[in-house]
Amino acid sequence: MFVMAIKPRRKLIQERDGVRGVGGLVPAGSDAHLDTEYARYLDDIGLASDPALKAALASSPDIRFQLFLKYLALPSSAKTKHPLVYCAKRATIDMSEMMAWVSKAHNARALALAQAAAPKINQAMAVDAESRMICCERCDGLGFVNADEGLPPETPGYRILRMISRKVKDPELGEVTEEIPVWIRDCPAGCTRGKLREPGDEFSREKLLEQTGAINRKGMGIQIINNLGGQSMPSAVARLDPMVIEIEPG
């Protein structure tokens, strides 16, 4: 007598989004390894090895994600073929929910990193916003430039810097050495001892002032308050009508 063994039907569950698979049906926790897309996703994001994601799991207000972390630590989970997807399905977390949670966790982590770096960034911006003395590019920091001979005497700083020797040929004496003056004048850029004052970075200044509330870029930077003195509206409008005020938006 032959007895035919009937294989039990594979247990399926329907995910909340109703999208994945036919009618949203995917393998349940007992056959979680068959959900290859979910398993591959969990492996790719490194959920089991990323300390930040594990900390986010532990602090999640959703008890299911806390259970997911708890199931990962159980010895029985390690014996399964794909422990990550097994624990996720055991905690009733479908793939769309996991993807949404991971996205929020990464955004929160990015925001935390930006907040941690904000003091150093602001410190650098404060340095960039300050004016500084830089070397004058016109005179290379010397404070003077070469000048032609014969300039008006009132030319600022017009003077002889030094004498240089140059050999020239004389028709009668042959080669002779003569002294030639090197004329200079003050740097026309108006630098002081070869230094110029450079304004601070405009972008850094604006951002720092915005943070302190000194300026408001979202609205008008100027408020006009006119005391109408109890006058009626028509008379008040008549007073304001000749007044034309042009204000650039902030």
Helices H / strands E in the chain, number of each: 8, 7
Separation of alpha carbons 172 and 157, rounded Å:
38
pLDDT interval class at 17 (50, 70, 90): low
Which residue do the tokens 């004016």 mark?
131
Output 66 or 246, whichever has higher pLDDT. 66
Q: What is the pLDDT of residues 39-75, one digit of tens each?
A: 889 888 888 788 888 889 988 999 999 999 999 888 8
Q: What is the pLDDT of residues 160-207, one digit of tens each?
A: 988 888 887 877 777 888 888 999 999 998 888 889 999 999 999 898
- Contact in structure between 95 and 20 (CB atoms under 8 Å): yes
Separation of alpha carbons 71 and 91, rounded Å:
8
Tokens of 41: 């996703």
Find how far residue 22's CA is from the centre of its chain: 44
Question: Of 19-28, 150-159, 191-200, 209-218, which range is least confident?
Answer: 19-28
pLDDT of residue 242: 47
Amino acid at 118: A
Separation of alpha carbons 51 and 168, rounded Å:
82
Q: Which residues contact 194 (CB under 8 A, 6 or more apart)?
A: 135, 136, 139, 140, 141, 142, 143, 187
DSSP percent split of the chain into helix, strand, coil, nearest 5 = 40, 15, 40
